[in-house]
Structure 1
Amino acid sequence: MNAHSPIPSPGRRELRVVMASPRGFCAGVDRAIQIVERTIEKFGAPVYVRHEIVHNRHVVDRLKAMGAVFIEELHEAPADRPVVFSAHGVPKSVPAEARSREMVYLDATCPLVSKVHVEAQKHYDAGREIVLIGHAGHPEVVGTMGQLPEGVVTLIEDIDDARAWVPRDPANVAFLTQTTLSVDDTAAMVDLLKQRFPGIAAPHKEDICYATTNRQEAVKSLAEASELVLVVGSRNSSNSVRLMEVAKRAGAAEAQLIEDARGIDWSWFEGVTTVGLTAGASAPEDLVQGVIDAIATRYDVTVDELVEARETVTFKLPRLLTT
């Protein structure tokens, strides 16, 4: 029994909890939240945020309490207050509108999403026809497609789309991907595109971000080590939903996505001896600890950590907040 374990209580069943590492906040999410917090510190409340800064209700509610006002479109914000763009990225039309209204704006787009935006522009400038692998309506997809004129980028959501796509010039095409997709699903689509179009231009470095990849690899190991996998994250969080799906495919008898400890259905634990626990890239660590605390009220818990990778990535804050 390790340092995380409570003293056993007579009559309570023992349960092992294995925590994935890495889990929870990635560097892009951490930077985006800091940008909102620092903007409120510097300019006072209210500070407007276009779209949820990250897809987690607990994070959003905490920032609301500090003075953040979340909006869907820029016209909902007054021109004399600062506005922050979410970590998912925005179409080019959004900062253009902010400049035309002479607004103070801070772009919290994850630098790894910005990298995809730069790639899209380069392919367009080179005259290539572009496909984007991603989920329709997701803010990141809307932002990436919005870097270029309407109709220039074709969205591919699944293997059938990849099979059906017919470009104007098969010899002059390129692909990009949303950063929070299933690594395995995306690989199948990319393989098919490369078979169909051997000369297709690929990203210089994988578009799916390091944090998504690391968390999915860790949850595969969790699935092998546990009968039940719990993923802490919001249902509108793409990377959190993918973690649940990956766990199921990797062999977990049960995998569930929960917002926090209140989402636990204790019937899931019947006959379970080992629970795997992880969190999406936008889920705070205190929610993970809350799940452990809730489990510990019912079971004699031993907590172990399964380390898949060590993350040391950090991203700089905008100059406006550091000068």
Structure 2
Amino acid sequence: MTLYLAAPRGFCAGVDRAIKIVELAIAKWGAPVFVRHEIVHNKFVVDSLRDQGAVFVEELDECPDDRPVIFSAHGVPKSVPSAAQARNMTFVDATCPLVSKVHIEAERHSENGLQMVMIGHAGHPETVGTMGQLPDGEVLLVETVADVATITPRDPAKLAFITQTTLSVDDTADIVAALHARFPAIIGPHKEDICYATTNRQAAVKAIAGRIDALLVIGAPNSSNSKRLVEVGRAAGCAYSQLIQRADEIDWRALDGITSVGLSAGASAPERLINEVIDAFAARYDLTKEIVETAVENVEFKVPRVLRVPA
């Protein structure tokens, strides 16, 4: 068996920063520290932080006033920090800086009188958070090319678009093309909103897709960027592309007779889970590993200053 390891894979800078924020908050203020929504979409990571003293909740009203609360890497609507301030809560925003960049972009366009179109997945925390930066009705959501034909903006000549950071690069390009075709005056971002980590991981999967008979992507079922990697693998010609959370979810019977498997991991999957899968293959096969690297990542985001100073 040859295992082709896509690189880059696994943790991105935004996820790494968010996890550090929770760990540093527990070290500074002690347990419990409350976290609104899963800090990142990975059960292993969430369970590990829970063991250290993090309490995960869905809404701010589940948090007591006297304990710190952290907002997840996906971002939150403006109403959430406003509510925390009104209650005099200590809070730390772990929103990925690349998601915050999209928030700022949306506000800037709105201040210039433009209505926003957001390309994203309805109900995903990042989409909810980004749309929540502006008043109701100021952001129109499209998920597919077909959706572009159904939206009714106030003024077709005064539109701008933004995107969720974890989308399929290829699918998003098709939606952007449809927006430009219907609304020629629409303004797009100066630089693509889809983040570097999403783009790089999708490019690495494309690079191995032609060499493999099966693709395994380590990631959570609610992780947008992980699910997109599975779709990218299928679109690139790898018919057997599957999302798994841990090594114990590998369907070994489906791999009977296969001699080449690709392995990638979503941006919120830790290296420990990747090594677990590699070890599972090594226990069953005479294994050859080949790394296929399409980019080198050296991005690092600082944690908020409040966590860099002693209590």
Give me the TM-score of the superposition, normalised by structure 2: 0.98
Question: Where does 1:86-105 land on structure 2 (aligned, <5 Å)?
Answer: 86-105=72-91
Distance (Å, rounded) in 1 between the aligned partners of 2:257 and 2:169 = 31
Alignment-derived partner of residue 220 in structure 2:
234
Q: 2:285 aligns with which of 276, 281, 299?
A: 299
Distance (Å, rounded) in 2 between the aligned partners of 1:125 and 1:227 = 50
Runs of 5+ consecutive residues of structure 2 not aligned to the other structure: none
Answer yes or no: is 1:17 the counterpart of 2:19.
Answer: no
Distance (Å, rounded) in 2 between the aligned partners of 1:198 and 1:219 = 33
Q: Which moved more, 1:155-164 or 1:174-183?
A: 155-164
Alignment-derived partner of residue 192 in structure 2:
206
Percent identical: 62
Answer yes or no: is 1:194 the counterpart of 2:180.
Answer: yes
Distance (Å, rounded) in 2 between the aligned partners of 1:268 and 1:155 = 38
RMSD after superposition: 0.7
Alignment-derived partner of residue 246 in structure 2:
260
Runs of 5+ consecutive residues of structure 1 not aligned to the other structure: 1-14
Distance (Å, rounded) in 2 between the aligned partners of 1:100 and 1:261 = 45
2:236 counterpart letter in structure 1? A
2:73 counterpart letter in structure 1? A
Q: 1:40 aligns with which of 26, 30, 35?
A: 26
Q: Deviations over 1:95-137 (max 9, x none)?
A: 0011111111000000000001001101111111111000000
1:205: how far off? Answer: 1.0
Distance (Å, rounded) in 1 between the aligned partners of 2:44 and 2:154 = 46
- Whether the 8 Å contact between 1:261 and 1:294 is mirrored in structure 2 is yes
Distance (Å, rounded) in 2 between the aligned partners of 1:203 and 1:121 = 13
After TM superposition, where is structure 1 displaced by more than 4 Å over at least 4 residues in a row? Answer: none
Distance (Å, rounded) in 2 between the aligned partners of 1:189 and 1:75 = 37
Alignment-derived partner of residue 300 in structure 2:
314
1:192: how far off? Answer: 1.1
1:24 counterpart letter in structure 2? G
2:300 counterpart letter in structure 1? T
Question: Where does 1:1-150 land on structure 2 (aligned, <5 Å)?
Answer: 15-150=1-136
Distance (Å, rounded) in 2 between the aligned partners of 1:191 and 1:253 = 27
1:89: how far off? Answer: 0.1
Distance (Å, rounded) in 1 between the aligned partners of 2:286 and 2:169 = 36
2:23 counterpart letter in structure 1? E
Alignment-derived partner of residue 6 in structure 1:
none
1:174 counterpart letter in structure 2? A
- Whether the 8 Å contact between 1:228 and 1:268 is mirrored in structure 2 is no
Secondary structure of the corresponding residue to residue 25 of structure 2 = helix
- Whether the 8 Å contact between 1:120 and 1:130 is mirrored in structure 2 is yes
Distance (Å, rounded) in 1 between the aligned partners of 2:281 and 2:161 = 44
Alignment-derived partner of residue 8 in structure 1:
none
2:164 counterpart letter in structure 1? Q
Answer yes or no: is 1:180 the counterpart of 2:170.
Answer: no
Distance (Å, rounded) in 2 between the aligned partners of 1:126 and 1:54 = 33
Answer yes or no: is 1:281 the counterpart of 2:264.
Answer: no
Secondary structure of the corresponding residue to residue 190 of structure 1 = helix
Answer yes or no: is 1:161 the counterpart of 2:155.
Answer: no
2:140 counterpart letter in structure 1? T
Alignment-derived partner of residue 11 in structure 1:
none
